[in-house]
Amino acid sequence: MLLYFITCISFFLFLKSFPLKPLQPWASGMRLISLGFCWLSVKSVSKLIRNRLLLGLLCQICSRMSLMKKMSLTSRVENVEDTQDMSVLDLPELVLECILEKLPPSSLCQMAGVCRSLRERCVSDYFWEKHMKQKWGGVIGPAAYREWQWHIASRQDVGGLKHDNSFNDQPSSLPFDSVMTWYLALETGNFWFPAQVYNRENGHVGFMLSCYDAELSYDRHSDTFQARYPPHGRRAIATEHGIPWERLRAPPIDTPPHDLHFTDCLHDLHPGDHIEIQWRRNKEFPYGWWYGVVGHLESCDGNENFCRCHNSDTVVLEFNQYTPGSRWRRTNVSRKNHREEGNEADGFYGGIRKIYSETEISTWKLLWPSQVLD
């Protein structure tokens, strides 16, 4: 306020300093300009003072609020010190549930070992189903669930399951049929589950753009999987290590690897459709699923306006990862009477499933080989 008062006094003294006799026209203009500058100066100073006052007021408010907050926290600490029996179990049920929902699996295991009351909450399927779906939903299917049911039915005591050091704070005894038990069995690699592997055996050229059934075990330390493939004829079980998540999937249909899939999409196949077809080298081998597309008949030039390939009894399947002219490039199947077709030289083609999901199609395209195969 003192600065504002001094500025006003200076302004009035400035006005008094001007002579009373008439001035020349140019001098009057200069006087008006000077008055204008003085008025702007007064307004600027006034605005500055007002802003500073507001800022000071806000600072006082903030400082008082901070002091009140500190006093409140101090009183709370004193209350906690005075209340020796207060624990996390004294929280409202909804608050405690929200806290447990935010915990990762390892922390849930630690909380389950604190006391009986927390154990009953932390082993609940309600919390573990979310973790199960989030991490394992993409590779666990009905076949894996059946395998797990058989696994727990064959054990009278799940204490026989071994766990690594990352879960050493878990309770010693768990419900054998709980989702938590299943999650830990998968996480620690003690449970081998059925799933399918893209481009098996480290992308061997003989398995490019295929997907084969296997038994899998998880390795937490490398965040990869170990696979055991079914024996091919007299060959021993093939194994593979270091398989990343991107090369795994839950079986899209529930057909065992040695069984022929019943095809129900033949009359719905048109040129350009994406498909998977069962194929095996001979009758003793299990089927693998191979990616391909529906092509045009040789008599068709591919013009969409005149194409009638979808009305033919013959369906052309193309596997464009192979060079033109390769015996693996094209094959024909009957639309009406399709069964397993083939021979010992070219292998046997089995059931067909049409791919409708853009996500599945994108996955196959990401696995496309960098070079055309022979």
Domain residue ranges of the chain, discontinuous segments joined by +? 94-187, 266-366
Indicate the range of 116-120, 133-137, 209-213, 364-368 predicted with least confidence.
116-120
What is the predicted pLDDT for the residue at 266? 95
Question: Rounded to an integer, what distance in angstroms lies between the CA atom of residue 274 and that of residue 34?
Answer: 84
- What average pLDDT does the segment 253-261 reach? 94
* DSSP code, position 327: T
**Closest to 260 measured CA to CA, from 351, 349, 338, 195:** 351
240: region left, alpha or beta (phi > 0 left; psi from -120 to 50 alpha): beta
**Closest to 225 measured CA to CA, from 244, 251, 246:** 244
- The amino acid at residue 207 is F
User: Where does the pLDDT of residue 10 fall: very low under 50, low under 70, confident under 90, or very high at 90 and above?
Assistant: very low
pLDDT digits (tens, 9 = 90+) for 73-104: 454 444 544 445 667 777 888 888 898 999 99
pLDDT digits (tens, 9 = 90+) for 268-305: 999 999 999 999 999 889 999 999 999 999 999 999 89
pLDDT(19) > 70: no
What is the predicted pLDDT for the residue at 27? 42
Q: DSSP 3-state assignment of 345? A: coil
Q: What percent of the chain has pLDDT over 90?
A: 55
- CA 67, 69, 75, 81 dihedral sign is negative
- What average pLDDT does the segment 246-272 reach? 95
Strands 330-334 and 274-280: unpaired
pLDDT(163) > 80: no
pLDDT(335) > 60: yes
Q: Hey, how many other C-beta atoms are within 10 angstroms of the C-beta on 127?
A: 19
Contact criterion met (CB below 8 Å) for 349 and 342: yes
Residue 22 vs residue 201, higher pLDDT: 201
pLDDT digits (tens, 9 = 90+) for 105-146: 999 999 888 888 888 889 999 999 999 999 999 999 999 999
Q: What percent of the chain has pLDDT over 70?
A: 72
